[in-house]
Chain A
């Protein structure tokens, strides 16, 4: 990819943060009073990093993700995604989004769900090719299930399809809103491992919302802790665990101490 692009572009890209928020505030209007969802959020995320967002419910984690994805416009502050306005990054297909609910179209097979991004957004064709739908399904461990309908798949498999769909067109930003929140623990652990595999394979920047301390610590290079009412940054905790990680790391004393620290901070949020 780098060899195909002009050198100046590649050099410029290396310096530009993947995501940069400066003083972002989001207020929702209602008849009684304005609800402050996010207040004065600032942080910078370098390309290729994995940041998990952790906080109590109502702290605006999902809102923050939607501000980056250009679904919600901030009331104040500035958002830059790969050096552009979020809308620009979105229309260049630099953003993949995975929801808590897989949001598969029930009348389409797994492979046709992954193909959806090719069939909509005629104004915004992905600039780069990346993996094709079959390769993406293989990447998330679903080769052989291309023609299965969503109602024939388990919850974990549906979420894998959703991840494959979000990766189509090789977006440089992957936003995940509690993608494994509705799954059982065994499936969740397995998908955590596979997500780390996907992250290493694709080199994409991931912003991952969760309300699980273990998930936040296991996946993230950093954990952004948000406090609630109004949502604001409490602390950014670096996770210094050896790479590549494996699930057994959770049984180590280091991981336990880290989880304990996150829990202590969470209690003050």
Chain B
């Protein structure tokens, strides 16, 4: 008897065939196919249009190469100097990913502490807010003085920049359980760690991924900003060098390389999210 209430239940017979409906269905399928192609093609057309406008502006106004390069020069530079770009991308990648891992792990651990020990949240959350309010460009020199010129300060900056959004979102996620769910756990005599494992942690996962997606991009920003101050290698260092040498083509190629990694990092996290969180509908 429950089946009658179900979605896609076998009890619902398929409707009688009528020609009007078949035509309507054919039109609907055609519209769907068109929409699908539009979703795929329009972004590419948009990108191509932007490249064309860029090329046209440089050509029409005769912009000098040390001010801004044309797109085809940038493309050529990316091919010719790919080994330079790649060898500078590696350190930035390592710093960003290490900082991402470190910052998020610490944020998750502190969020768990805050949720279970309210006094800790009251004591330390204002300090966290204060530190977060210092601009990253101001934090960077302090960390370079503290940690030297190697990878350590860059990882630290990337970690700090990831830390705050994850902490705030994770605390919110761990507390986003309904009062009734908590009452249910109480009636079942669940222990605190069981409530954490079976209820709080799964509830927080979508919140965590929202933060991780932000962190994926910002960790790259953190690593690059770190490299601006006293570094010989990395995307950030290459940006500074190219700027000082008025090598605009290399500058643009470097920026594109850095963004490509950033986007790839973001997409990886989003893919993980879709694998892990199957109970919340995702926008297409």
Residues of A at under 8 Å CB distance from B? 66, 69-71, 90-91, 93, 95-97, 99-101, 103, 105-107, 116-117, 119-124, 140-142, 144-145, 149-154, 156-157, 160, 187, 190
Q: Which of B162-196 contact A (CB under 8 A)?
A: 178, 180-181, 183-191, 194-195
Residues of B within 8 A of A91 (CB): 189
B180 engages A121 (CB within 8 Å): no
B183 touches A157 (CB 8 A): no
**Contact check: which of A101, A106, A120, A140 meets B188 at CB < 8 Å?**
A120
A108 to chain B, nearest CB (A): 8
Whether the Cβ atoms of A71 and B189 lie closer than 8 Å is: no
Within 8 A of A (CB), among B1-21: 1-3, 5-7
Closest 7 CB pairs of A and B: A121-B189, A120-B190, A124-B189, A141-B2, A106-B279, A120-B194, A97-B187
Interface contact A145-B189, CB-CB below 8 Å: no
- Among A70, A120, A160, the residue within 8 A (CB) of B2 is A160
Chain B 90-105, CB-CB to A under 8 Å as 1, else 0, gives 0000000000000000
User: Are B6 and A123 interface neighbours, CB within 8 A?
Assistant: no
In the bound complex, what is the Cα–Cα distance between A141 and B191 (angstroms)? 32
List residues of chain B with CB within 8 A of the CB of A90.
186-187, 189
A119-B189 in contact given A99-B184, A101-B178, A151-B279 (Cβ < 8 Å): no
Contacts A/B (CB < 8 Å), 8 sampled: A97-B187, A120-B195, A121-B188, A121-B191, A141-B1, A145-B2, A152-B7, A190-B1
Contact B194 A122 (CB under 8 A): yes
Q: Does B198 contact A (CB under 8 A)?
A: yes
**CB proximity of B279 to chain A, nearest CB, Å:** 4
The contact of A105 among B1, B183, B202, B278, by CB within 8 Å, is B202
Nearest to A162 among chain B residues (CB) is B184
Contact across chains for A123 and B180 when beta carbons are under 8 A apart: no
Q: Is the CB of B2 within 8 A of A99?
A: no
The winner among A66, A91, A103, A142 for most chain B CB atoms within 10 A is A103
Residues of A within 8 A of B186 (CB): 70-71, 90
Q: A107-B279, A145-B6 are in contact. Are A116 and B188 (CB under 8 A)?
A: yes
A103 with B178: in contact, given A119-B198, A156-B5, A160-B2 (CB under 8 Å)?
yes
Within 8 A of A (CB), among B193-211: 194-195, 198-199, 202
Known: A93-B188, A101-B178, A157-B5. 8 other contacts (CB 8 A): A70-B187, A97-B187, A99-B183, A101-B180, A103-B184, A116-B188, A124-B189, A157-B6
Q: Which residues of A contact B191 (CB under 8 A)?
A: 120-123
Neighbouring B residues of A142 by C-beta, 8 Å: 2
Residues of B within 8 A of A124 (CB): 188-189
Whether B279 and A117, one on each chain, are in contact in the complex, defined by CB atoms closer than 8 angstroms, is no
Interface pair A116/B194, CB less than 8 Å apart: no
Q: Report the bound CA distance from A156 to B6 in whole Å.
A: 10
CA distance A154 to B3 in the complex (A): 11
Interface string of B253-274 (1 = CB under 8 A from A): 0000000000000000000000
Q: Is B188 a contact partner of A69 (Cβ separation < 8 A)?
A: no
A182 → chain B closest CB, angstroms:
12
- Report the minimal beta-carbon distance from B2 to chain A, rounded to whole angstroms: 4
Chain A residues lying within 8 Å of B181, measured Cβ to Cβ, are 103, 105
- Nearest CB in chain A to that of B2: its residue: A141
- Please pick, from A105, A140, A160, the residue contacting B198 in the complex, using a CB distance under 8 A: A105
Give the Cβ gap from A17 to chain B, nearest Cβ, in Å.
20
